[in-house]
A and B are shown apart, each in its own frame.
Chain A
Amino acid sequence: MRIDCDAHVDESEDTWAFIEESDARFRPVTVNAAGRRMWMWPGRTRPRHERSDDTTGTTEATRTLHDVAARLRHMDELGIDIQVLYPTFFLTTPSDRADVELALCKSYNRWIASATERSQGRLRWVVVPPFLSMDKALEEIRWAKDHGACGVLKKGTEHNRGAADPYFVPLYEEASRLDMPICMHAGSGDPTAVLPVSPRLHTISACIDLVGAGIPERFPALRMGWIECSASWTIHVAGHGGPESKAELGKRNSAG
């Protein structure tokens, strides 16, 4: 079997169709700003990607899940059995307002659950928790588990809280109880999306936070993954072991 651990969707108007009427004012709309398509919602704008089918090798219908059957056929062509879906919109935290964040997250989770229902289990997904409302975040994770989710999206920091912040302990506890991994995807937990460093470094740094604070030991069943950060950083965390590996390094360096 081939499992694609990091596939994405592009959000569309369908994504926000699940926003409750009482929160309709939070629904992102598409605007054209100086010839560029943008999402706009309370307090924020963000580019709405216009992608090239040729460059991405995909189509609008497969990217947005407007045509799930087409996505599955494309997966067949690529020899992929299962994809685990991550958002695009939520790779940067969407709002510093709890009410807005909750509405957007709930709508996304319900949209992707509905869309992937038609995939005969070949499209799984990670839940997007509303981190500003931890009680609601836990509810969302439980709901998502029952509707096809297989992981919990998180970035290295969320709303300026590091990964080992005690604020997130309930999240780790519930994810562990539900046997859902924490999926640290490269991205920004800052709603202003202003980062002095690469989103990958931001996410990788969470590993050191978590190890230092003993989070993995505290939750001995919890799995955590670093997604779209490449794997080159892992050698620095796994360490260089002892003389044996140093000798091998020496051989490698002298061999050029």
Chain B
Amino acid sequence: MVARNRKQNWGSGIRQVEGRDADTIQLDQDLFRRLRFYSSCETMDDLPYILKFGTEDNLLLGSDYTHSDQSAELRVHEIIERRGRDGEIPMDVARKLADTNARRFYGL
């Protein structure tokens, strides 16, 4: 949809980025940390699997408070922390999702 609406010359854009190999974009497990990307996650996400891809410092928790769609979970923090206590994910990672990642992302 984006390409149809506005022609974007990705090729020249890639080559002009200093330090980047002319023909490749490195998609790797360090990408989120390297590019300072973050993503909220949901209780339905397969976190043990997702965390294998190096995003433990870049995931956030959101309750979708006010709304009632599939994302909404008022007790998302409790649920994720319980998964940490139960060993489904490391407890220190659960704390990152609940606290430190958000403080870094929002600059709190």
Residues of A in contact with B (beta carbons under 8 Å apart): 1-10, 51-52, 55-58, 62-63, 78-80, 82-84, 88, 124, 150-151, 157, 160-162, 164-165, 179-181, 196-197, 202, 205, 207, 209, 211-214, 216-218, 221-235, 237-239, 241, 245, 248, 252
Known A-B contacts A56-B72, A234-B53; the reply to A6 vs B63 at CB < 8 A is: yes
Closest 7 pairs (CB-CB, A-B): A6-B62, A214-B17, A231-B41, A3-B102, A8-B66, A225-B38, A216-B35
Residues of chain B within 8 A of A211, CB atoms compared: 25, 27, 31, 35
- The one of A80, A124, A232, A238 in contact with B106, judged by C-beta atoms closer than 8 angstroms, is A124
Among A162, A229, A231: residue with most chain B CB under 10 A: A231
**A residues near B34, Cβ cutoff 8 Å:** 216
Chain B proximity of A226: nearest CB distance (Å) = 4
Binding site for A on B (CB under 8 A): 1-2, 5-6, 8, 10, 13-14, 16-20, 25, 27-29, 31-32, 34-42, 44-47, 49-50, 52-55, 58-68, 71-72, 74-78, 98-99, 102-108
Smallest Cβ-Cβ distance to B104: which chain A residue: A223
Q: Shortest CB–CB separation between residue B83 and chain A, in angstroms?
A: 14
Cβ contact within 8 Å between A229 and B40: yes
**Cα–Cα, bound, A196→B35 (Å):** 29
Using CB atoms, name the residue of chain A closest to B65. A7
Question: B60 touching A5 by the CB < 8 A rule?
Answer: yes
Residues A218 and B36 in contact, CB atoms below 8 Å apart: no
Could you say which residues of chain A place their CB within 8 Å of the CB of B58? 234
Cross-chain contact B6 with A165 (CB below 8 angstroms): yes
User: What's the minimum C-beta distance from B85 to chain A, rounded to whole angstroms?
Assistant: 14
Which A residues touch B28, using CB under 8 A?
A: 238-239, 241
B67, A238: Cβ atoms closer than 8 Å:
no
Whether the Cβ atoms of B55 and A8 lie closer than 8 Å is no
Tell me whether A3 and B39 are in contact in the complex, defined as CB-CB below 8 angstroms, given that A51-B66, A83-B65 are known contacts. no
Instruction: Please indicate the chain A residues that have their CB under 8 angstroms from the CB of B5 in the complex.
Output: 157, 160-162
Residues of B near A52 (CB, < 8 A) are 68
Q: A212 contacts which of B25, B52, B53 (Cβ < 8 Å)?
A: B25
Tell me if B105 and A230 are in contact (CB < 8 A): no
CB of A130, distance to nearest CB on chain B (Å): 20
Q: Which of B5, B40, B54, B103 has the most CB of A within 10 A?
A: B40
**Minimum CB distance partner of A207 in chain B:** B37
A248 to chain B, nearest CB (A): 7
- Which of A56, A79, A227 is B77 in contact with, Cβ under 8 Å? A79
Chain A's closest residue to B34 (CB) is A216
- Cβ contact within 8 Å between A4 and B106: no
Using known A-B contacts A217-B19, A230-B44, A238-B29, determine if residue A9 contacts B66 with beta carbons closer than 8 Å.
yes
The residue in A55, A124, A221, A235 that gathers the most chain B C-beta atoms within 10 A of its C-beta is: A235
27 contacts between A and B (CB under 8 A): A2-B77, A4-B76, A4-B77, A5-B62, A6-B40, A6-B62, A8-B66, A51-B66, A51-B68, A56-B67, A82-B102, A88-B67, A124-B106, A162-B5, A211-B35, A212-B13, A213-B8, A217-B17, A217-B20, A223-B104, A224-B36, A225-B60, A226-B39, A231-B47, A235-B53, A238-B54, A245-B53
Given contact pairs A51-B66, A232-B46, A232-B50, A209 touches B2 in the complex (Cβ within 8 A): yes
